[in-house]
């Protein structure tokens, strides 16, 4: 990791565009170098460390796509109907063991190997069998209803590339090649903590002025959805020596150290001081709402550090916009934008040009069945209820002004 692109922020000046902030962050990210072999049963969501290459053809042999009768195309009647002698039956996993000769056919099940000599399958519904003979009508094509050897995959094909995050269908695809294990990147380790004597854990009895720590639980959920290994450091007190000791230890094992609140310039000087001792940390104001203040840098020789805003919604939005792409990069995956599309907005939205806004939305269908979006009510950055209700973020672009009801907006689906 390098910090060549890091520019400390001292509290004044132009707001940093979110695209530039993300570019600086990603330029600092190096993929994890360690790999591990995992069974397919536990490989969902993991990122491939190397290409999956087909060791065989799929399917390995021609097989029937239908229940029916396998026969030689030369025996298809050019007009009218014809009779073929029924030689036997082929079941899936049980080859016939003999050749289909001229004038013969065999009953065949879906997925069963096409016997030697046969090159066409007629559907059962399009034939009639009686007294050892099968009547075949006209209108059939040579080669119909057969899945060809290697039709899906050929031996030597790159099936899935390095950097692919495995989805359910990918697991089945790998299994179809007879491969029981996947070589994947090690999961990113993220040390997560909250700071301050003013926060306490759910279940504690809060003292006067204390609030319950919600950000650590929201962020832990986002990390779990991503598939990260979480090292929960809990709540660190307002004590410089304690913070120094815990962060120094975390920097030895964590790929990312993540906190929320208390790390912007001018707040909790002991936090910024300790961070500067242990690494290189920059403080930015980013042209987004919610989530303008962000601390980013490195701790020790290996860890990235993110200090997210303390407001609950701002912490989640900045995680989605900045931390998640960084985790994708260090996990060996190309960073991806969340799925997004354009829909009409049922509400009028206030917006000033000069920053990107992320309002919380709920996707619904209107009376005509058309997909649309509406906001979740009040949009303050401390209203966590708005994120709990939301199914998407309404993305209002940097240069956009107010939105009238019925105008088209871009929405991005929330993780999970």
CB-count exposure of residue 345 (10 Å: 0-12, 13-18, 19+): buried
CA distance 231 to 190: 6
Domains in the chain, number: 4
- Note whether residue 320 is domain-resident: yes
For residue 5, the model assigns a pLDDT of 39
Task: For residue 179, count CB atoms less than 10 angstroms from its CB and return exposed for 0-12, middle for 13-18, buried for 19 or more.
Answer: middle
Which of the four pLDDT bands, split at 50, 70 and 90, describes residue 384? confident
CATH number, position 393: 2.40.340.10
CA atoms of 247 and 59, how far apart (whole Å): 53
Query: Do 179 and 108 have their domain in common?
Result: no
Give me the pLDDT at residue 97, please: 87
Q: What does the alpha-carbon distance between residue 152 and residue 37 come to, in Å, rounded to a whole number?
A: 26
Strands (E), 196-238: 199-200, 211-212, 229-236
Residue 11 has pLDDT above 60, yes or no: no
Residue 3: pLDDT band with limits 50, 70, 90: very low
Whether 49 maps to a domain, the answer reads yes
- Residue 124 Ramachandran class (φ > 0 left, ψ -120 to 50 alpha, else beta): alpha
Task: Grade residue 263 by pLDDT with cuts at 50, 70 and 90.
Answer: low
- Domain of 52 in residue numbering reads as 37-58+151-185
Which helix (H) or strand (E) element contains residue 259?
Answer: strand 256-260
Identify whether 26 is part of a domain. Answer: yes
Mean pLDDT of the chain: 91
Residue 159's contacts (CB-CB under 8 Å, 6 or more residues apart) are: 51, 52, 53, 54, 153, 173, 174, 177
Of 324, 328, 292, the residue nearest 308 (C-alpha)? 292
Instruction: Inform me whether the pLDDT recorded for 297 exceeds 70.
Output: yes
Are residues 367 and 268 part of one domain?
no
Domain-embedded: residue 10? no
Could you report the per-residue pLDDT of 28-52, keeping only the tens digit for each?
999 999 999 999 999 999 999 999 9
Mean pLDDT of 312-328: 96
Residue pair 305/257 in contact by the 8 Å Cβ criterion: yes
Average pLDDT over every residue of 198-209:
86
> Which of 73, 81, 75, 84 is closest to 141 using CA atoms?
73
> Is residue 115 domain-shared with residue 103, that is, in the same domain?
yes
Are 45 and 174 found together in one domain? yes
Cα separations (Å) of 77 from 196, 238, 250, 301? 85, 89, 77, 77
Task: Say if residue 176 is in the same domain as residue 45.
Answer: yes
In a domain, 5, yes or no: no
Report yes or no: 84 and 70 within 8 Å, Cβ to Cβ.
Answer: no
| Rounded distance between C-alpha atoms, residue 310 and residue 27, angstroms | 25
Q: Which of 282, 302, 330 is the last residue of a domain?
A: 330
Could you give the percent of the chain with pLDDT greater than 70? 95
User: In this predicted model, what pLDDT tens digit does every residue of 301-310 receive, in sequence order?
Assistant: 889 999 999 8
The predicted model gives 240-248 an average pLDDT of 90
| Domain match, 211 and 78 both | no
Q: Is the domain of 367 the same as that of 306?
A: no
What does each C-alpha distance from 171 to 77, 88, 163, 232 come to in angstroms? 44, 36, 15, 30
Q: What percentage of the chain exceeds 90 in pLDDT? A: 74
Q: What's the rounded mean pLDDT across residues 271-294?
A: 88
Residue 12 in any domain: the answer is no
CATH code, domain carrying 288? 3.40.980.10
H-state helical runs in 254-380 = 269-278, 312-318, 324-330
Q: Are residues 394 and 320 in the same domain?
A: no
Residue 7 lies in a domain: no
- Regarding whether 247 and 212 lie in a shared domain, the answer is yes
**Given 123, 147, 171, which residue is the final one in a domain?**
147
CATH assignment at residue 109: 2.170.190.11
Mean pLDDT of 401-410: 96
User: Is the Cα dihedral 27, 33, 36, 37 positive or negative?
Assistant: positive
pLDDT in tens, 131-166: 999 999 999 999 999 999 999 999 999 999 999 999
pLDDT computed for residue 60 by the predictor: 92
- Inter-residue contact 326 to 188 (CB < 8 Å): no
Burial per residue of 225-251, b for 16 or more beta-carbon CB atoms within 10 angstroms, e otherwise:
ebebebbebebbeeeeeebbebbeebb
Residue 251 inside a domain? The answer is yes
Q: How does strand 356-365 pair with strand 371-375?
A: antiparallel
Whether 104 and 157 map to the same domain: the answer is no
pLDDT of residue 252: 92
Q: What is the CATH number of the domain that holds 163?
A: 3.90.105.10
Contacts 24+ apart (CB under 8 A), 299-302: 299/247, 299/250, 299/251, 299/257, 299/275, 300/248, 300/251, 300/252, 301/251, 302/1, 302/251, 302/255
Q: How confident is the model at residue 264 (pLDDT cuts 50, 70, 90)?
A: low
Same domain (yes/no): 254, 272 = yes
Q: For position 9, what pLDDT does the model report?
A: 41
Q: Which of 5-14, 98-107, 194-203, 268-277 has the lowest mean pLDDT?
A: 5-14
Inform me whether the pLDDT recorded for 265 exceeds 90.
no
Nearest to 181 by CA among 55, 56, 36: 36
Does the pLDDT of residue 295 top 60, yes or no? yes
| Same domain? 203 vs 287 | yes
3-state secondary structure of 74: helix
Task: Please give the structure tokens belonging to residue 159.
Answer: 């099936």
CA distance 391 to 343: 14
């Amino acid at each position: 990791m390098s910090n060549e692109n890091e520019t400390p922020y001292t509290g004044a000046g132009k707001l940093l565009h979110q695209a530039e902030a993300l570019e600086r962050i990603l330029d600092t990210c190096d993929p994890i170098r360690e790999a591990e072999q995992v069974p397919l049963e536990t490989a969902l969501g993991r990122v491939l460390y190397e290409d999956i290459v087909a060791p065989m053809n799929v399917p390995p042999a021609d097989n029937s796509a239908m229940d029916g009768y396998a026969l030689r195309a030369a025996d298809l009647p050019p007009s009218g109907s014809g009779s073929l002698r029924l030689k036997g039956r082929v079941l899936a996993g049980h080859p016939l063991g003999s050749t289909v000769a001229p004038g013969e056919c065999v009953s065949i099940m879906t997925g069963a190997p096409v016997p030697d000599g046969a090159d066409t399958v007629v559907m059962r519904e399009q034939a009639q069998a009686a007294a050892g003979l099968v009547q075949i009508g006209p209108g059939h094509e040579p080669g119909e209803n057969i899945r060809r050897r290697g039709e899906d995959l050929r031996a030597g094909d790159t099936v899935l590339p390095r950097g692919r995050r495995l989805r359910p269908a990918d697991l089945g695809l790998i299994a179809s090649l007879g491969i029981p294990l996947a070589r994947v990147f090690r999961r990113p380790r993220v040390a997560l903590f909250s700071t301050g004597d003013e926060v306490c854990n759910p279940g504690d009895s809060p003292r006067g002025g204390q609030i319950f720590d919600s950000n650590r639980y929201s962020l832990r959920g986002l990390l779990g959805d991503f598939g990260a290994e979480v090292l929960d450091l809990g709540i660190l007190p307002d004590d410089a020596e304690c913070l120094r000791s815990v962060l120094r230890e975390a920097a030895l094992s964590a790929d990312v150290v993540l906190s929320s609140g208390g790390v912007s310039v001018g707040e909790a000087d002991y936090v910024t001081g300790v961070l500067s001792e242990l690494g290189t940390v920059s403080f930015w104001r980013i042209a987004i709402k919610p989530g303008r203040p962000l601390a980013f840098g490195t701790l020790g020789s290996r860890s990235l550090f993110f200090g997210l805003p303390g407001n609950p919604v701002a912490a989640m939005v900045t995680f989605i916009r900045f931390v998640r792409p960084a985790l994708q990069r260090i996990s060996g995956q190309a960073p991806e934008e969340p799925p997004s599309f354009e829909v009409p907005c049922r509400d009028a939205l206030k917006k000033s040009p000069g920053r990107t806004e992320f309002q919380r939305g709920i996707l619904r269908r209107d009376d005509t069945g058309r997909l649309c979006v509406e906001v979740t009510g009040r949009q303050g950055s401390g209203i966590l209820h708005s994120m709990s209700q939301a199914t998407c973020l309404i993305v209002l672009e940097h240069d956009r002004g107010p939105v009238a009801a019925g105008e088209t907006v871009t929405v991005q689906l929330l993780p999970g």
